[in-house]
Amino acid sequence: MPNPTAAMLVIGDEILSGRTRDSNMHHLAKVLTGVGIDLKEVRVVSDDQPAIVAAVRALSDGFDHVFTSGGIGPTHDDITADAMGVAFGVNIDVRDDARALLQAHYNRMGTTLNDARLRMARIPDGAALIDNPVSTAPGFSLGNVHVMAGVPAVFEAMVASVVSHLAHGAPLLSSSWRVMRGEGDVAAPLAQVAQDFPDLSLGSYPFQKDGAYGTNIVIRGTEAAQVAAALAQVQALFPA
């Protein structure tokens, strides 16, 4: 059976403006690779409801899972939850279980659960809460879309919670071989290896060392025997 597929939607003006560097995509890609869920696409959209709605609908239709990050906080520009309600055609309002989580958290902190913070308890109808052991305010899953915070520590905790409940596939294995030749020199032989192993992904990545140029050849696949056989062919073509 093929691995489940996934896409990621990164939401936030601060990402597109360059003010904030996104690290969540890198983390999600590593986690999904390790459990055999193939991340196929990543999109970045601004804090604009029509853009979020359109992206969510397209990705939800195209992939088994969609992971979003950003836009579920307490401020006016946190509009992701509302956009999810529109995308799925469901109502959104403060939900009792989410409110109770926040109330207990702010009681422990000695802080008031004001109207702004209560926005984080607004959950679309039919959604399941995603646990947030870092700062309590939950994410949620609606259909095949998993809506999570943008703060990396919170995002990572939510990803762990969600992925533990998803069906896994075959983890992606990889091997690499470094040769002191440029990409132009390895292109033709490498294309033949790729043709011989159509189920594998072969990539070449240039590097420079001590003034000389070389290429890292990376072989990826889910079958260890195939990866090993392709690596042996590459090593025969380009001895150390």
3-state SS record for 128-176:
EEECCCCCCCCEEEECCEEEECCCHHHHHHHHHHHHCCCCCCCCCEEEE
Q: Strand order in 145-148's β-sheet?
A: 38-45, 5-11, 65-69, 145-148, 139-142, 128-130
pTM of the complete model = 0.90
Amino acid letter for position 144: N
Q: Kindly list the domain boundaries of the chain, sorted by start residue.
A: 5-163, 173-237
Residue 97 has pLDDT above 90, yes or no: yes
| Average pLDDT estimate for 86-110 | 97
| Average pLDDT estimate for 100-108 | 97
The top-level CATH class assigned to 173-237 is alpha beta
The CATH code of domain 5-163 reads 3.40.980.10
pLDDT of residue 209: 83
b/e sequence 218-233, b meaning 16+ C-beta within 10 Å:
bbbbbeeebbebbbeb
pLDDT digits (tens, 9 = 90+) for 161-179: 999 999 999 999 999 999 9
pLDDT above 70: percentage of residues in the chain: 100
pLDDT of residue 21: 94
pLDDT digits (tens, 9 = 90+) for 191-208: 999 999 999 999 999 999
